[in-house]
């Protein structure tokens, strides 16, 4: 037999095994109807792996062996969502849901509509991007505008099709939630305890931590599952959410099998009430019900606020509560100097975890609760995650308990606390030497989303601060091998790795440097906006208050914070030291705007363009100062239409009198 015959036979068998294993995956993980035992499945998978090792170039992009993992990801790049992943407004009572229903009816002015209701999964949101049916990108929600790309890890989740079933649209997006079944979580913890490892706290935290692991083989070993709940594409989409759920199921996705269409708000409440107690019988955690207008075209009419869609809402079930006793209150100081009171409790089991501490937030909350050391209190988990004290059981209060008075001085450095006008929090103003503030600023500076310095974790930072080697994050760039080699926890390799990590941080782009220096209220998104507007640290340092506050979505509070930061001589000295260390102090060539030709203009792109892909046209518009939007509204300036444009977007543009332009007209605008 010739080598070519061997290759042809291998190709045929690889194709056969790939399709057969994909079908078994679907039957087992999505439909829960396996037709062969695990042993036979493993034999088929092993055969496919052997063939792919012998003929690596014949491995298909949708091979089931990708489920095994093994790819190491040192860093998760940012990925901008095609449309923002908006949060839902939460409601907690029938009255609020009735108000939501009334607002829908008023906005639709008599047009008939229905609802679709689904479980609100307590998991981790994912966005999946497909082209011609093949998975291209898997990303976390992030800040809603952009998330982390974790595609290698996503491919190990067996309820996520690498290639969807049946014919697929050219390009589409699927959103959903990754969860861990309660039974699988218990087995995972049993295995960890047997191996001498600490058990995980709860399914959601385990899921979130697993998805961001660098070794996809470990992710593959964890029992994660994915529930799809949203399908989006430019063309060929069903008109109702219910039909889209069925389309997701036909494509091979697992959906919420309990989702239901409801003709009115009374039917919605029948669903809510029926699951309030039954939710504990489910094999996964939910914390409420999502209520959405079923007709997709009507959602365009309803629109959205800056934070939430107007056509959907989340009804949250009452959080589980537990009663315990408050032993004492202590106070924590954050990196910004904010002082937070913390309740230390007699341990109590709550929603599957043991709670020993709970936040008391601020002085106003202490006064509102009238909480005293020794009180019996009710504790619940905010959003089913963060423990908080919600009520004092005054009827059980022991005699003689003294009212709680908020601290007057910092618990770490004894500096008198201050409270800014219009704010509820107390702050320690000793930013220079207050230990937790010093450590916190350095931890923030070195964190993955900021300077991403390998080998510089909390313990190492605490050690370096304690022995006096660093008092500020700028001191990191003066550290030497001789200073570190004799310290505890340090050996030759760890010292060299740390110094290399510090040196490499000089390559981090300017927007992340701006985020890393820790200006109050400046998160990643705001740092990018400021970097895009001012281009360099010098320009931002000298910018006037009014100029900063004029930037879209910045406002006076953030502008005051920026101006206050750079008006302090100590901070200017920090910037000078970082400049001397070689850090990036201006935007790179790839981030600089080409022109301001489209300044203040917004575009919706539809159809296939001749000279641009969907990603490159977005970058091109932004490089000329414009913005790209996901849907046509009255605030959009232009609809850029290529070949085979979306009919609904064109008709919506005509209805709203938004100008539709060709690719040639667009290029003339920026020429």
Yes or no: say if 371 and 344 are a contact pair by the CB < 8 Å rule.
no
Helix %, strand %, coil % for the chain, to 5? Answer: 40, 20, 35
Yes or no: say if 630 and 83 are a contact pair by the CB < 8 Å rule.
yes
Torsions phi, psi for 235 (to 5 deg): -135, 160
What is the C-alpha to C-alpha distance for residues 246 and 33, in angstroms, rounded to an integer?
Answer: 19
What is the C-alpha to C-alpha distance for residues 417 and 427, in angstroms, rounded to an integer?
Answer: 5
Residue 311 Ramachandran class (φ > 0 left, ψ -120 to 50 alpha, else beta): alpha
Cα dist from 555 to 185, 524, 562, whole Å: 45, 16, 11
Strands (E), 393-481: 418-419, 426-427
Q: What is the CA radius of gyration of the chain?
A: 28
3-state secondary structure 41-95: HHHHHHHHHHHHHHCHHHCCCCCHHHHHCCCECCCCCEEECCCCCCCCCEECCHH
Residues in the chain, total: 671
Cα dist from 589 to 34, 526, 579, whole Å: 54, 20, 18
- For this structure, is 120 an active site residue? yes
Burial of 568 by CB count in 10 Å (0-12 exposed, 13-18 middle, 19+ buried)? exposed
Q: Which of 120, 155, 618, 649 is catalytic?
A: 120
Name the 3-class secondary structure at 265. Answer: helix
Q: Cβ–Cβ contacts within 10 Å for residue 542, how many? A: 11
Task: Enumerate the active-site residues.
Answer: 120
């Amino acid at each position: 037999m010739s080598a070519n015959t061997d290759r042809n036979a291998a190709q045929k068998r690889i194709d056969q095994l790939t399709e057969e294993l994909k079908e078994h995956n679907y039957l087992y993980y999505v439909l829960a109807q396996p037709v062969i035992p695990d042993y036979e499945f493993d034999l088929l998978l092993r055969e496919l792996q052997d063939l792919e090792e012998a003929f690596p170039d014949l491995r298909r992009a949708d091979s089931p062996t990708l489920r095994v993992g093994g790819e190491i990801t040192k860093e998760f790049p940012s990925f901008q969502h095609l449309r923002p992943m908006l949060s839902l407004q939460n409601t907690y009572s029938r009255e609020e849901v009735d108000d939501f229903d009334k607002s829908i009816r008023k906005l639709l002015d008599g047009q008939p509509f229905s609802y679709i209701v689904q479980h609100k999964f307590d998991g981790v949101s994912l966005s999946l991007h497909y082209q011609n049916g093949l998975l291209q990108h898997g990303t976390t929600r992030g800040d809603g505008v952009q998330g982390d790309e974790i595609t290698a890890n996503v491919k190990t989740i067996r309820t996520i099709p690498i290639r969807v079933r049946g014919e697929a649209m050219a390009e589409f997006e699927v959103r959903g939630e990754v969860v861990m079944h309660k039974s699988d979580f218990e087995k995972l913890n049993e295995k960890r305890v047997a191996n001498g490892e600490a058990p995980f706290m709860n399914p959601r935290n385990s899921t979130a931590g697993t998805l961001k692991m660098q070794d996809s083989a470990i992710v593959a070993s964890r029992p994660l599952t994915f529930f799809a709940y949203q399908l989006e594409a430019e063309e060929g989409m069903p008109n109702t959410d219910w039909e889209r759920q069925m389309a997701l199921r036909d494509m091979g996705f697992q959906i919420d099998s309990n989702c239901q269409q409801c003709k009115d708000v009374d039917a919605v409440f029948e669903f809510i009430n029926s699951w309030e107690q039954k939710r504990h019988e489910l094999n996964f955690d939910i914390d409420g019900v999502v209520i959405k207008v079923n007709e997709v075209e009507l959602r365009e009419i309803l629109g959205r606020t800056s934070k939430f869609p107007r056509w959907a809402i989340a009804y949250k079930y009452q959080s589980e509560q537990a009663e315990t006793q408050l032993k004492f209150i202590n106070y924590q100081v954050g990196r910004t100097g904010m002082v937070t009171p913390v309740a230390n409790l007699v341990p109590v089991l709550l929603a599957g975890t043991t709670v020993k501490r709970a936040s008391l937030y601020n002085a106003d909350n202490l006064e509102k609760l009238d909480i005293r050391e020794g009180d019996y209190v009710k504790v619940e988990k905010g959003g089913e995650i963060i423990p908080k004290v919600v009520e004092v059981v005054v009827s059980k209060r022991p005699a003689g308990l003294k009212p709680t008075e908020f601290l007057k001085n910092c618990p770490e450095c004894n500096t008198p606390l201050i409270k800014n006008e219009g704010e509820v929090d107390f702050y320690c103003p000793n930013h220079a030497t207050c230990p937790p503030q010093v450590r916190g600023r350095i931890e923030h500076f070195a964190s993955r989303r900021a300077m991403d310095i390998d080998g510089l974790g909390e313990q190492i930072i605490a050690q370096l601060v304690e022995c006096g080697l660093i008092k500020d994050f700028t001191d990191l760039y003066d550290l030497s091998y001789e200073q570190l080699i004799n310290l505890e926890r340090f050996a030759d390799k760890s010292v060299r790795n740390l110094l290399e990590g510090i040196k490499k941080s000089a390559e981090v782009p300017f927007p992340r440097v701006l985020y890393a220096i820790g200006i109050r209220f400046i998160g990643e998104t705001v740092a990018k906006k400021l970097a895009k507007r001012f281009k360099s640290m010098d320009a931002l340092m000298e910018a006037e208050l009014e100029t900063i506050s004029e930037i879209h979505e910045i406002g006076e509070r953030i502008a005051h914070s920026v101006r206050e930061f750079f008006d302090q001589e100590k901070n200017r000295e920090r910037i000078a030291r970082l400049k001397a260390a070689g850090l990036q102090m201006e935007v790179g060539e790839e981030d600089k705007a080409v022109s301001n030709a489209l300044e203040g203009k917004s575009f919706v792109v539809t159809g296939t363009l001749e000279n641009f892909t969907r990603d490159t046209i977005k970058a091109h518009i932004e490089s000329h100062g414009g913005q790209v939007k996901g849907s046509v509204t009255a605030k959009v300036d232009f609809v850029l239409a290529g070949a085979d444009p979306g009919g609904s977007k064109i008709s919506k543009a005509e209805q709203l009198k938004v100008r539709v332009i060709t690719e040639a007209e667009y290029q003339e605008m920026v020429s």
